[in-house]
C-alpha cells in the first residue's frame, strides 16, 4: 500500500527486531519488553512511524509495570493509543494506523471479561484491525502523510493502517506457534 516508504520503514524495524532477538534474549517482563522495543524502534525504525510506535509502546508499558493479566493488556493498548492520539494529533477516521489500532482495541476490551481467552480475543482484534485497514480505502485523509495528497489519488488502503494490522497478525501468529 502507498509509495513503498511505509513498507521500507516497517521492514527496517523488522530487521532490527530480528537482530536484537538473535543478539540477546528479549526481556521476559512485559513492561520491560515493550520499553525495550520502544527504544529499539525509536533508534532504528525511523520516520514518523518509528516515533509513533515508540510513543505507543512506551505508554503501553506503563499499565504492565505492576501487573500483566489479560485486562492489563487491554489497558496497555488503550494507553498506547491515547499517547499516539495526544502526540500525533490523529483520531480514528483520519485514515491512519489509528484506524486499525482503535478497531483492535475495541475487540481487546473483551480481555476485561471474566474467563476471557487470549487467542480468540486477539484473533477477533486482528480481524477488526484488518477490516478497519481496508475501510481506510474509502476515507478522506485527515492526518498523516496522506492528508497532503489529493483524495482522488488515494486508491489503496492507508499504508500505516495496513502495517499496524499486519503487526497485530504477526503477534497472533507468533503466539499461536
Q: pLDDT tens digits, residue range 61-117?
A: 999 999 999 999 999 999 999 999 999 888 898 888 999 999 999 999 999 999 999
Rounded to whole angstroms, the Cα distance separating 63 from 79 reads 8
- Per-residue pLDDT tens for 3-40? 567 888 999 999 999 999 999 999 999 999 999 999 99
Please, which pLDDT band fits residue 46 given cuts at 50, 70 and 90? confident
Q: For residue 36, what are the domain limits? A: 5-176
> Which stretches of the chain are DSSP H helices?
5-23, 30-44, 47-61, 70-88, 97-108, 118-135, 159-176
Give the number of domains in the chain: 1
Check residue 82 and give its pLDDT: 97
pLDDT at 143 over 80: no
Check residue 152 and give its pLDDT: 46
Do residues 123 and 144 lie in contact, with contact meaning Cβ atoms separated by under 8 Å?
no
Smallest CA-to-CA distance from 76 within 86, 65, 85 is with: 65
CATH of the domain at 141: 1.25.40.340
Do residues 108 and 74 lie in contact, with contact meaning Cβ atoms separated by under 8 Å?
yes
Q: Which three cell numbers stand for residue 116?
A: 476471557
Amino acid at each position: 500500500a502507498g509509495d513503498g516508504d511505509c513498507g521500507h520503514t516497517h521492514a527496517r524495524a523488522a530487521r532490527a527486531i530480528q537482530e536484537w532477538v538473535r543478539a540477546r534474549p528479549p526481556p521476559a517482563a512485559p513492561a520491560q519488553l515493550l520499553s525495550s522495543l520502544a527504544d529499539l524502534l525509536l533508534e532504528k525504525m525511523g520516520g514518523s512511524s518509528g516515533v509513533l510506535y515508540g510513543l505507543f509502546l512506551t505508554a503501553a508499558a506503563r499499565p504492565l509495570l505492576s501487573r500483566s493479566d489479560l485486562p492489563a493488556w487491554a489497558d496497555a493498548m488503550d494507553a498506547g493509543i491515547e499517547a499516539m492520539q495526544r502526540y500525533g494529533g490523529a483520531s480514528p477516521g483520519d485514515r491512519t494506523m489509528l484506524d486499525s489500532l482503535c478497531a483492535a482495541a475495541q475487540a481487546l476490551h473483551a480481555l476485561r471479561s471474566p474467563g476471557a481467552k487470549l487467542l480468540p480475543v486477539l484473533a477477533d482484534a486482528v480481524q477488526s484491525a484488518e477490516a478497519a485497514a481496508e475501510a481506510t480505502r474509502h476515507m478522506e485523509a485527515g492526518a498523516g502523510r496522506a492528508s497532503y495528497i489529493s483524495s482522488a489519488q488515494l486508491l489503496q488502503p492507508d499504508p500505516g493502517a495496513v502495517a499496524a494490522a499486519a503487526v497485530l497478525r504477526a503477534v497472533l501468529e507468533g503466539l499461536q506457534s
